């Protein structure tokens, strides 16, 4: 039963991400790798892990321009890179 709910959650996340990328994402200037992350349903490109917390937010580490970790709430203003908490794969957040 748990795996069925997880698959339904993954489908829901992909649908919402698809809508976000092709509406708001066009104006927010996301990098190609970040768009792929969102369109994959929050799946790490390196380890293929599903990166969603139980509270339905991305389970990623956000870095500023000095490579220091910052809070998720600061990602839109100060965030430069994201990384997977499991395999430490990093990708750019926006095209600058």
Say how many domains are in the chain.
1
Residue 1 pLDDT: 65
E-only strand ranges, the chain: 61-63, 69-70, 81-83, 90-92
Domain encompassing residue 54? 2-92
pTM: 0.85
| Locus of tokens 């919402």 | 16
- State pLDDT tens for residues 45-91: 999 999 998 888 899 999 999 999 999 999 989 999 999 999 999 99
Whole-number Cα distances in Å, 9 to 2, 3, 50, 53: 10, 10, 11, 11
- Determine the average pLDDT of the residues in 35-49: 94
Pairing of β 81-83 and β 90-92: antiparallel
The mean pLDDT of the chain is 92
């Amino acid at each position: 039963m748990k795996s069925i709910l997880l698959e339904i959650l993954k489908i829901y996340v992909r649908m919402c991400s698809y809508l976000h990328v092709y509406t708001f994402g066009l104006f927010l200037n996301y990098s190609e790798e970040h768009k792929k992350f969102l369109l994959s349903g929050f799946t790490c490109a390196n380890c293929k892990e599903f990166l969603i917390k139980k509270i339905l937010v991305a389970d990623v580490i956000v870095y500023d321009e000095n490579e220091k970790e910052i809070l998720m709430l600061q990602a839109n203003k100060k965030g430069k890179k994201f990384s997977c908490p499991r395999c430490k794969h990093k990708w750019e957040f926006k095209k600058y």
